[in-house]
């Protein structure tokens, strides 16, 4: 089963929790055991599994990447000013794979799935959510 998760972002750089949307897609699929493959469309976006208990973790991730990969110093900035966003998305990566166990995401208590926006805000971003069963029900 495949479903597109659509979202909008509100800041230039942000981690947006999409765990509930992924869980909803799993529930709709009826698949109990298998894998969930997630892929962020867009050359300036990524996906990350990270802690959601304390929002400071997401803030720390964004601030760390800003310090490591500053805006305005890359060759691509001459075209459209987002060279840093391309580098950040490439390093974090566009995909995550999560085991599906008894109809639930195989995440630990503290893990959630985040869409990483590095060139926002955007009215429409998309994550392809593909659910693959271990065996056909």
Residue 127's pLDDT is: 98
CATH of the domain at 85: 2.60.120.460
**What's the number of domains the chain is made of?**
1
Domain that holds residue 62: 2-133
pLDDT tens-place values along the chain, 137 residues long: 999 999 999 999 999 999 999 999 999 999 999 999 999 999 999 999 999 888 899 999 999 999 999 999 999 999 999 999 999 999 999 999 999 999 999 999 999 999 999 999 999 999 999 999 998 65
- pTM comes to 0.94
Q: What is the 3-state secondary structure (H, E, C) of 33-102?
A: CEEEEEEECCCCEEEEEEECCCCHHHHHHHHHHHHHCCCCCCCCHHHHCCHHHHHHHHHHCCEEEEEEEC
pLDDT reported for residue 135: 81
């Amino acid at each position: 089963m495949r479903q597109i998760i659509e979202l909008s972002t509100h800041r230039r750089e942000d981690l947006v929790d999409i765990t509930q949307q992924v869980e909803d897609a799993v529930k709709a699929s009826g698949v109990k055991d298998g894998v969930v493959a997630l892929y962020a469309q867009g050359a300036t976006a990524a996906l990350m599994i990270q802690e959601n208990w304390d929002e400071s973790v997401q803030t720390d991730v964004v601030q760390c990447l800003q310090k490591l990969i500053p805006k305005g110093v890359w060759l691509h900035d001459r075209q459209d000013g987002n060279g840093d966003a391309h580098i950040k998305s490439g390093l974090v990566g566009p995909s995550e794979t999560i085991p599906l166990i008894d109809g639930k995401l195989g995440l630990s208590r503290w893990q959630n799935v985040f869409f990483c926006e590095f060139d926002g805000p955007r009215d429409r971003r998309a994550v392809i959510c593909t659910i693959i069963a271990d065996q056909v029900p």
